Amino acid sequence: MTRTESVIEKLRTTFVPFTDVWFYSPNEDRKDWDGQYERVDGETRPVDRNASFDLRLISDNALSLTPDSVGIYVIRDELSVIYIGLTDRNIKQRFDAHVSKLTAVNKWHHPVRWQKYVIERSKRNGKAFERLDDFQIGFYDLRDFQSNLQGTTDKEHVHDMEALVFYGLCVTNPKERFLNTESIVGNRASREKWEAFFAR
């Protein structure tokens, strides 16, 4: 098996329903969202509508994710992968931010790509856009990729891996649907390396 084939094989992963990994419970007394955003302390957020949620990682979840997991997670909707992100023992904070963006909750900064995605999703699904059961999650463990990565620390490895997974999944998913900001995936050297690798 060539190096390219080996890396592509490692990118095959199991996707499981979001709700098989995370317990998610939105508050019931939230107002309907009007699709509007506002500036709050220099950040762009949905207009406050008294929306909040409880989010907890399920013990013994379908991906064996733990608060100490290190690697790359992937979020997919009913059409394709929409986001890849890295976790270096901070997965709860990362998903708290993603859920707030996907469900228009007034916390964290909501970049333009996320805003457009969520506005379209709310138009298409109505109030049901606040549900997360049509999303799936996959996870790539850092240990499975270390032989392909550059760097000497876990932090350097996971940043190189972020670019590997991003460009690898761009081969099989429409890149224009990704909500990632490409210029901050990994670092410049890793972006150039893995983009060229998968362009072959």
* Residue 164 backbone phi and psi in degrees, to 5: -60, -50
Scanning the structure block, which residue is given the tokens 């606040």? 130
Banded pLDDT at 105 (limits 50, 70, 90):
very high
Asked whether residue 3 carries a pLDDT value surpassing 90, the answer given is: no
Q: Would you place residue 143 in the very low, low, confident or very high pLDDT band (cuts 50, 70, 90)?
A: very high
User: Radius of gyration (Cα) for the chain, nearest Å?
Assistant: 17
Least Cα distance to 180 among 118, 134, 112 occurs for: 112
CB 143 within 8 A of CB 77: no
pLDDT at 89: 85
Task: State the pairing for strand pair 43-46/37-40.
Answer: antiparallel
pTM higher than 0.85: yes
Domain ranges of the chain: 3-199
| Band of pLDDT at residue 5, cut at 50, 70 and 90 | confident
How many percent of the chain have pLDDT more than 90? Answer: 88
Mean pLDDT of 127-141: 95
**pLDDT, tens only, 61-99:** 999 999 999 999 999 999 999 999 999 889 999 999 999
Residue 1 has pLDDT above 70, yes or no: no
